[in-house]
Amino acid sequence: MDILGTTLRVCVDDLEASVAFYEGITGTRALRFERGGVSVAAIGCFLLMSGPETELEMLRKVAATIAVKDVDEAREALTRAGAHVVAGPVPTPVGRNLIALHPDGSVFEYADRNAVV
pLDDT at 116: 63
Share the mean pLDDT of the chain.
92
Q: What is the DSSP letter of 99?
A: E
Average pLDDT over residues 63-80: 95
Average pLDDT over residues 2-16: 92
Element (H, E) at 15: helix 15-26
What structural domains and CATH numbers belong to the chain?
A: 3-112 (3.10.180.10)
Return the bridge partners of 28, or none. Answer: none
Which pTM does this prediction carry? 0.80
pLDDT at 38: 93
Backbone Cα Rg of the chain: 14
Residue 117 pLDDT greater than 90, yes or no: no
Average pLDDT over residues 43-50: 94
62 near 102, Cβ under 8 Å?
no
Using alpha carbons, list the distances in angstroms from residue 83 to 86, 92, 113: 9, 22, 22
Return the bridge partners of 112, or none. Answer: 96
What are the tens digits of pLDDT across the range 88-116? 899 987 889 999 999 999 999 999 988 66
72 near 110, Cβ under 8 Å?
no
Q: Which of 8-12, 49-53, 57-61 has the lowest mean pLDDT?
A: 57-61
75 near 111, Cβ under 8 Å?
no
